[in-house]
Structure 1
């Protein structure tokens, strides 16, 4: 065979583009939700009511990481019991008087407002389909008249939820869009799903002062390396030096909760009696299958002047 010096190279078929994350919007009205699924199977579901994350599955979509009550209201009739509700602009019962939030309901209005889906963003590398970011917005112009009357301040919130193969990042961006300053608190009320609360321990809080709301809001210092739960727990750990709190099951790390620009963490489990008193906490005994590790800025107040922005959030890593 004669070898031609300038013969054409073999033609190769163009490679098909790698499949990217899939994002769907389903439902209508207060029941609308956004679902994102990675090509590898991991998924997240966010209800537009409250921008509440109601499901996060890792391990190829096989492992649910968030606890959601069987009686959670997903129709916009009340705040969702479970998942990750967004608390803003006040945590817990508001001050009785003399503060801008005093007329608000417990935990404010963000978790009971309908948010706007602002769209998705994927990696700058078009071939990288390993994560997807979903943005949601809430503004003073589209909260309810009741919320606007109770807290007549101009603000903008952007909530970013980023799903990766083994982690979920949730970040709140708060902007003061008015002429006067305002104070606020914020919290990500995360309900983590566990197998048996009696075998759960929480590390990363040693030496930290906390307010124990079960013991008349008295102040204590965490003296044990691990927090264990054998009854009702409702503690606010403040000014935590370490950024990572680890939830272990039977001595094996299950979750890392990594705070970003947030100094406080609430640890909560209602235990049997309080769980039984909540109409939307179900099934019976479900308190043994959940623990709340809630990052936030709740000890004192964050203050924003005109045009200023505050941003804080968390990355939860599934360690299975």
Structure 2
């Protein structure tokens, strides 16, 4: 297979994406929804739906699914399914007066064909998405904006670059998050490294501020925390699958950890009763300090997810070295 070229994926549309024609295909489904399939030479793939600009699948070269998606809800063209990677804008979590999901997750995005100031995408499968504010949006949030999203797949890596531009005549502020649901073997066997000693807001305890005391974060119950001023690299170690997710981020100083555990999972209509055992939601976020944009200004963030083989129990991988950026 030629490097940097995605061979056609069987679909019922055959539509290709402008400048990215060799890199991604659009599929029009029978229910009227649209998906973008990204694929690169080693076999890694990602799938993006235009409703919500949501990434609903990321598979490695062995065709293993790396993102969690609930099977509880039936797929609908106009409904956000819990899981994958989704956008929270202009409000992330419940820190504000808007609905928690914000605007972007409930709107139909378009393929962005305008010239991009971002570097060229060599040897990767990429799509650029665009969401523009509408008059209806102004009733909810009275500011005009453009929200762009670049999604790229390379061998073992999924990159998401969000950009927000103020096209209004007055400044505005917003918070932002990329909600990433990771697929795990057993949440009770998972460790998160890189958040030690940091302050966090605990949403289960009236959003009080605490300092993390554990050497690593493990899970034995419901968690919903916003960790503040986090490092640019965080590791999620899945012992049973011998897999480590490494999250690298820029422009989003905070990180949110969420797992509903058993009681809340059973009370959620769009979540399976046992789903909490095989997932962890970790967000790259800007929550504590809102981002302020003057007219014409643009903010840019970046998140990279990689999945590497590891055997933490046998000492083959030191997660602290992953967090500190050592290569293997």
Which bin holds the TM-score, normalised by the shorter protein? 0.7 to 0.9
- Three-state SS of the structure 2 residue aligned to 1:236 is strand
Evaluate the alpha carbon distance shift between residue 17 and residue 105 of structure 1 in structure 2; reply closer, same or farther with a 3 A threshold. closer
TM-score, normalized by length of structure 1? 0.84
Out of 196, 199, 202, the position equivalent to 1:206 is 196
- Three-state SS of the structure 2 residue aligned to 1:91 is coil
Report what 1:67 is aligned to. 68
State the distance in 2 between where 1:260 and 1:30 align: 35
Q: Which moved more, 1:43-52 or 1:21-30?
A: 21-30
Q: Is 1:290 matched with 2:279?
A: yes
Report if the CA contact (8 A) 1:73-1:79 is conserved.
no
- Give the C-alpha shift of residue 39 in structure 1: 2.3
Instruction: Provide the alpha-carbon RMSD of the alignment.
Output: 2.3
Report what 1:196 is aligned to. 186
TM-score, normalized by length of structure 2? 0.82
Q: Is 1:309 matched with 2:309?
A: no
- Give the C-alpha shift of residue 71 in structure 1: 2.5
- Give the C-alpha shift of residue 119 in structure 1: 5.4
Report what 2:58 is aligned to. 56
- Give the C-alpha shift of residue 239 in structure 1: 1.0
Which runs of 5 or more residues in structure 1 are unaligned? Answer: 1-15, 96-101
State the distance in 2 between where 1:286 and 1:263 align: 28
Out of 35, 40, 43, the position equivalent to 2:42 is 40
Which runs of 5 or more residues in structure 2 are unaligned? Answer: 8-23, 310-328
State the distance in 1 between where 2:169 and 2:74 align: 37
Out of 109, 115, 130, the position equivalent to 2:109 is 115
Evaluate the alpha carbon distance shift between residue 119 and residue 39 of structure 1 in structure 2; reply closer, same or farther with a 3 A threshold. farther
Q: Is 1:78 matched with 2:71?
A: no
- Give the C-alpha shift of residue 73 in structure 1: 5.1
Deviations 1:127-175 (A, max 9, x none): x64x12211000114xx72x33111211101101110111101111000
Report if the CA contact (8 A) 2:138-2:144 is conserved.
no
Q: Is 1:105 matched with 2:99?
A: yes
- Three-state SS of the structure 2 residue aligned to 1:81 is coil
Q: Is 1:134 matched with 2:127?
A: yes
Report if the CA contact (8 A) 2:38-2:126 is conserved.
no
Report what 2:5 is aligned to. 20
